[in-house]
């Protein structure tokens, strides 16, 4: 996969699986070379519940993407979401042995590793530890403590937790599909990278990704992720309700929702009617659009209210934590008519629909810039970032070696300074652990 740095995002969703191949063009934008999409069988509410079917769906999506891009896919960056993800706030501190030395990477690592020792519920694993702000000797609101003096270093952390078994199952599916796991990312984070601008993250924004089986939330403020949540409802429950409420089959319910559905009942006149062909030999059914949108409205309100509770949990109502940029809706579910107005009505926050074109090359296909593909685009970006980091490290090592050789030749006394390596994100460590586990489990 070395040829001009291609990265592959694999979004294993409840309704669809997307494999997306991309690379950076000379302007630093992401160019999508190929997309493959298959119906997701064997995933329920973001969690794999049938390995064989999921593998088949992954392979189908991958083959389609390979054909479109005429590239071979070997490694993928995969997203995790699902109802088992939860997040908590945690504060921790370390006392430094030597307060006369400045705080360095090592101290922060020690602090972060300490958070990893938190006792979780059985079967849970910490996925992300995201430092919020630091305190040094009681001085608060420090964004970057490196280089400061102090004896006590403390921080507030946003800790994201998930079920080990679910994460391993995803790893298992990827591996059995003949692919290598390049990285694991939290899906709300991937979608946020694809859809949000830097200014929005600074000002304060809530990203709501409405998928088929789950709705993901990521809250940013001052450029830092502050809160994440996964709500176990998505577009599928809306379809289910239409199916039950109108006594029609799922395929018809899904079509109705997409073609005629609206989240705002007041929009439809009483006399607007859709006729649906009956099952073999039965009379066609007539459904009023007003009824349809009432059904949709009831369920969507429920989803948005749950998300809004999470936004309030983060503390949106405090002046300092106010989300000035409001809400950005993305994911397939965000394409529902009048959803934006409904969200604004319920939350009183400014709302826009988020398209993942923030970082895409200008000539990208219309379809790819659809909210449906936000997570996949984010995963591709994440993979590209990972590769850049790897390469930077390799280049750095070569530079050090060359420096060392030259120094040896000229003046043997000088010490070559070690460049500071970037902190490895915990996800990289998690990916390695999952890989190791799968290798040993064979």
DSSP-assigned letters across all residues of 213-227: S-EEEEEEETTEEEE
Q: List, run by run, the mean pLDDT of 10-residue segments along the chain (442 residues).
A: 75 94 90 94 90 96 94 92 87 92 91 89 87 92 92 93 91 94 90 94 96 93 90 94 92 93 82 86 89 94 96 88 95 94 96 91 83 95 90 87 77 51 65 81 70
40 and 14 Cβ atoms separated by less than 8 Å: yes
Asked if residue 28 belongs to a domain, the reply is: no
3-class SS at 231?
A: strand
pLDDT value of position 425:
65
Residue 277: domain span: 235-299
- State how far Cα 211 lies from the chain centre: 11
Domains contained in the chain, number: 1
pLDDT value of position 2:
45
Structure tokens at 220: 């940013």
> Rounded distance, CA 163 to CA 127, Å?
9
> Rounded distance, CA 267 to CA 179, Å?
48
Structure tokens at 72: 């071979």
Asked if residue 273 belongs to a domain, the reply is: yes
Q: Which residues are bridge partners to 285 per DSSP? A: 276
3-class SS at 66?
A: helix
Helix (H) / strand (E) containing 164 = helix 164-176
Asked if residue 134 belongs to a domain, the reply is: no
Provide φ and ψ at 245, rounded to 5°. -65, -30
pLDDT value of position 411:
62
Asked if residue 145 belongs to a domain, the reply is: no
Angle at which helices 426-441 and 164-176 cross, to 10°: 70
Q: Which letter does DSSP use for residue 369 in this model?
A: G
Asked if residue 14 belongs to a domain, the reply is: no
Asked if residue 56 belongs to a domain, the reply is: no
Helix (H) / strand (E) containing 108 = helix 105-115
Asked if residue 364 belongs to a domain, the reply is: no
Asked if residue 358 belongs to a domain, the reply is: no
> Rounded distance, CA 298 to CA 199, Å?
34
Provide φ and ψ at 347, rounded to 5°. -100, -20
Helix (H) / strand (E) containing 155 = strand 152-163
Helix, strand, coil % (nearest 5) of the chain? 40, 30, 30
82 and 46 Cβ atoms separated by less than 8 Å: yes
- CATH code of residue 292: 3.30.420.40
């Amino acid at each position: 996969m070395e040829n001009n740095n291609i990265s592959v995002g694999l979004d294993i969703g409840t309704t669809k699986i997307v494999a997306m191949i991309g690379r950076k063009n000379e302007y630093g934008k992401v160019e999508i070379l190929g997309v493959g999409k298959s119906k997701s069988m064997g995933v329920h509410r973001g969690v794999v519940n049938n390995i064989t079917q999921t593998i088949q769906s992954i392979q189908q999506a991958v083959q389609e993407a390979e054909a479109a891009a005429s590239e071979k896919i070997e490694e993928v960056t995969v997203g995790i979401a699902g109802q088992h993800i939860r997040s908590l706030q945690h504060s921790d501190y370390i006392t430094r042995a030597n307060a006369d030395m400045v705080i360095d990477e090592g101290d922060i690592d020690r602090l972060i590793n300490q958070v990893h020792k938190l006792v979780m519920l059985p079967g849970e694993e910490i996925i992300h530890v995201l430092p919020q702000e630091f305190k040094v000797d009681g001085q608060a609101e420090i964004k970057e403590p490196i280089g400061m003096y102090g004896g006590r270093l403390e921080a507030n952390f946003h800790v994201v937790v998930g079920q080990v078994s679910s994460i391993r199952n995803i790893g298992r599916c990827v591996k059995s599909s003949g692919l290598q796991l390049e990285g694991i990312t939290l899906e709300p984070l991937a979608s946020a990278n694809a859809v949000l601008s830097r200014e929005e993250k600074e000002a304060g924004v809530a990203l709501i990704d409405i998928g088929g089986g789950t709705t993901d939330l990521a809250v940013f403020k001052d450029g830092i992720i502050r809160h994440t949540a996964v709500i176990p409802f998505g577009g599928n429950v809306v379809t289910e309700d239409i199916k039950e409420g109108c006594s029609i089959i799922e395929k018809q319910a899904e079509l109705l929702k997409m073609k005629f559905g609206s989240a705002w009942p007041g929009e439809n006149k009483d006399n607007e009617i859709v006729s649906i062909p009956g099952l073999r030999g039965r009379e066609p059914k007539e459904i009023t659009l007003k009824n349809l949108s009432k059904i949709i409205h009831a369920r969507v309100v429920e989803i948005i209210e749950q998300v809004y509770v999470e936004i309030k949990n983060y503390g949106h109502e405090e002046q300092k934590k106010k989300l000035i940029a409001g809400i950005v809706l993305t994911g397939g579910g965000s394409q529902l008519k009048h959803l934006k107005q409904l969200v604004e009505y319920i939350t009183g926050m400014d709302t826009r629909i988020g398209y993942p074109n923030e970082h895409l090359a200008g000539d990208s296909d219309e379809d790819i810039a659809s909210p449906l593909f936000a997570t996949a685009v984010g995963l591709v970006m994440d993979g590209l970032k990972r590769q850049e980091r790897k390469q930077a490290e390799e280049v750095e090592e070569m530079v050090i070696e060359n420096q060392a050789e030259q120094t040896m030749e000229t003046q043997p006394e000088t010490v070559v300074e070690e460049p500071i390596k970037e902190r490895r994100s915990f996800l990289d460590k998690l990916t390695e652990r999952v890989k190791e586990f799968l290798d040993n489990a064979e």
